[in-house]
């Protein structure tokens, strides 16, 4: 599909763009290629859309109770920490104050 200069200018106005004559010519070609591709996609004979990925899965995702379980001792967890404060890991600040 070949776009006319007027069609390109109309699209540019809708997008609040001002184009040079060179850009008008360039984008006429670019938009024509895009519309040709969309036309090819529209010609595809596809089955009607069914379930999307993860939508209405026949087997529901199992949910587990949020229970506290024994873990490794705090001292062991902190033994490889590059920096710690009491029983906590210390990490470098990555956000500014007030954010």
The pLDDT assigned to 97 comes to 76
In b/e form, how buried is each residue of 11-20, taking b as 16+ CB within 10 angstroms?
Answer: ebeeeeeebe
Q: Is residue 21 part of a domain?
A: yes
Interval 42-97: pLDDT, tens: 999 877 777 666 666 667 778 888 899 999 999 999 998 999 999 999 999 888 87
How many distinct structural domains can be found in the chain? 1
The answer to whether position 61 is within a domain reads: no
> Do 88 and 81 contact (CB within 8 A), yes or no?
no
Read off the CATH number of the domain in which 9 is found. Answer: 1.10.20.60
pTM (two decimals): 0.44
Q: Which domain holds residue 24?
A: 5-43
Q: Following DSSP, what letter does each residue of 47-70 receive, concatenated?
A: PPP-PPTTSS-SSPPP--------
Phi, psi of 12 (to 5 degrees): -60, -40
Q: Rounded to whole angstroms, how far apart are CA atoms 21 and 35?
A: 21
């Amino acid at each position: 599909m070949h776009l006319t200069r007027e069609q390109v200018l109309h699209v540019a106005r809708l997008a609040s763009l001002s184009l040079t004559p060179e850009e008008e010519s360039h984008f006429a070609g670019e938009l024509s290629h895009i519309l040709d591709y969309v036309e090819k996609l529209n010609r595809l004979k596809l089955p009607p859309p069914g379930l999307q990925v993860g939508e209405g899965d026949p087997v529901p995702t199992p949910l587990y109770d949020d229970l506290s379980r024994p873990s490794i001792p705090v001292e062991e967890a902190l033994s490889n920490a590059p920096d710690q404060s009491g029983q906590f890991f210390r990490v470098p600040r990555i956000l500014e104050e007030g954010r």
